[in-house]
Amino acid sequence: MILEVRLMSARLRQPIVVVLGHVDHGKTSLLDKMRGTIVAVREAGGITQHIGASLFPLDALIDTCKTLLGEIKIEKLRVPGLLFIDTPGHAAFANLRKRGGSIADLAILVIDIINGVQEQTRECIQLLKSRRTPFVIAANKIDLIPGWRTRELAPFSRTFESQSRLVQEELEKRVYELIGDLSFFGFKADLYTRIKDFARTLAIVPVSAKTGEGIPDLLLILLGLAQSFMQDRLLASSGPAEGVVLEVLEEVGIGHTINAIISEGVLRVGDRIGLMGVDGPFSTRVKALLMPKPLDEMRDPRDKFKRIEEVEAAVGVKIVAEGLDKCFAGSPIYVISSPENEQEILQRIKNEIEEFMITTDKIGVVVKADTLGSLEAATLYLHEKGIPVRRADIGEVSKRDVVEAEIVKMKDELKGVILAFNVKIDQDLEIDASNKGIRIFKDSVLFRLVNAYLEWVENETTTRRLRAFDSLMKPGKIKIMEGYVFRRSEPAIVGVEVLSGLIKPKYPLMNSRGKIVGTISQIQDRGQSVHEARAGSRVAISMREPVVGRHVREGEILYTALPEQDARLLQKEYYDMLDEESRKVLEEIVEIKRSVDPLWAR
């Protein structure tokens, strides 16, 4: 592997890196192992704690990766380190939003190499694609490959060489399966040691969060990608800060605060900032900026933060200000540099949010999510699936949401539903919605939530289609058997053979000229009344209208006299639900009718 690093005179900020993936695939374990590895080489620079993030300084990263440095041509590394978001998962990544993308510069998508791509993995890939965030694959749990010989914290290339041929072949097989899975999402991927162009090929780095194997490779790949392809994006700015709210919290003795990631510029105590709240964009003044004290000083829970006067991107920080109780997680943060541009900043925030906080009159589903980031992810995903949205908002499901769904349900029952993504629902409200026939789908995983709704729509559509099909008169063709006239009139009772399709009581019958000869009153099979007779059956039928020998004759072929609307629907909507013989009979019936009326059932 060769990563060439170019020299730049301008100062770069550290890239913001987020870790995401399917539940139990090892996101937290991997982050903890990386953090622990850096702490182990504390003398080389240690680790700096931030709110919601951890800064891995460059000298500590280089020390961790020193076994690989002989394979890399470095003119001068200028990226000052890597800022990892401490809250791994798609929810945290969803909140790292900005207009048209993400404030995360890079991502690590953790995939269990044993179990492969799972439902949340797919959701994460969709999120990464929609945000256009560069990422690498950490193929985790290589230590679980049968026969694997562990080498603690070893680079992948070294630990792979020490494995038996069978183990190497098993890992290669699983990597190729992963390459195949990723190709379905439009990604060209490969084992990172084989990649010549990292701009075009997604890197797969086999790792073990348990033993630390492959972690040096993973960190070095991130450093190389950041420095080789992201220099313009990482140029440090001393201008007004920009960032995003990671979460809103209430701290004892302080009140409501926000944990924020500042991605651009400088934020100072006393700055006025613009945010998104329950009632729309608002501004407030920064009272305090708080950072965690070093781990060895955090003995007293009453004094776990230290106050600072300013922070410079990229950084995670706790902000204290008035009115933060109404702030939304995922809200953009902009410093308002002067009173003159406050309205401009607030309008910019409003424009950003209005793209996915939807309130319209169109027929569509109601969506509720816990944060702005989650809401944006949900609306984008629904749009991709072709599901229209009437209302998209943040917070718990409310009475208004139920009313909105009721309005839609009157026009389209399959869209009059509520999709609740990671939000609470009052039990009484849920019962009230159920009594009104409003379905509420709820889940903390977006992929599962939307799939549950789509499966319900498919099942309901199939059920309704079957119900509608069952209500239609079906094509049938019978022959009056010779020698089986049991009664000639009032009612006429004859033995018939069902040649194709089916017949039922109340079905009118017509002859080959299209003239209706009577209506079936009853069908009997061996003396027992039956509700239908299908192709191949020989049964007795009774009809009040005809006289055998005058209106119908032995050996004559009769057809069910389909209503025109039923025939039209069977041809255009339900043709696939008829068997081959029934289709032929339908065509015969249509041909007979059109010989009298050329426009019949067109």
Write down the domain spans for the chain: 16-229, 242-354, 365-471, 476-596
pLDDT of residue 203: 96
Decide if 242-354 and 365-471 have a common fold.
no
CA distances from 443 to 245, 247, 277, 368, 439 (A): 23, 20, 24, 11, 13
pTM of the prediction?
A: 0.75
Spatial separation of the C-alpha atoms in residues 227 and 76, rounded to whole Å: 10
pLDDT of residue 278: 85
pLDDT of residue 515: 94
pLDDT of residue 35: 77
Please, what is the Cα angle at 424 between 421 and 425, to 5 degrees?
A: 105
The CATH number given to 16-229 is: 3.40.50.300
Q: Under a CB-based contact definition with an 8 Å cutoff, are residues 75 and 7 in contact?
A: yes
Q: How many beta carbons lie within 10 A of that of residue 571, not counting itself?
A: 16
What's the sign of the alpha-carbon dihedral 158, 164, 168, 171? Answer: negative
DSSP code at position 298: T
Strand spans (E) along 170-278: 189-191, 202-206, 242-251, 255-264, 266-268, 272-277
pLDDT of residue 492: 94
Q: At what angle do helices 580-596 and 564-572 cross, to 10 degrees?
A: 130
83 HSE (CA, 13 A, CB side): 25
The CATH number given to 476-596 is: 2.40.30.10
Spatial separation of the C-alpha atoms in residues 295 and 96, rounded to whole Å: 26
Q: How many beta carbons lie within 10 A of that of residue 500, not counting itself?
A: 21
> Token pair 């995003």 is at which residue?
244
The CATH number given to 242-354 is: 2.40.30.10
pLDDT of residue 2: 40
Spatial separation of the C-alpha atoms in residues 395 and 69, rounded to whole Å: 49
How buried is residue 164: exposed, middle or buried, by Cβ count under 10 Å (0-12/13-18/19+)? exposed
pLDDT of residue 456: 96
| CATH architecture under which domain 365-471 falls | 3-Layer(aba) Sandwich (3.40)
Give mean pLDDT in consecutive 10-residue pieces for the chain, a chain of 602 residues. Answer: 45 90 82 72 56 83 73 64 81 79 91 90 86 94 95 90 95 96 94 92 95 92 89 87 92 89 95 92 95 57 78 92 92 93 93 83 92 87 90 92 95 95 92 94 88 94 92 96 93 95 96 94 93 94 94 95 95 93 95 92 88
- 193, two tokens: 């040691």
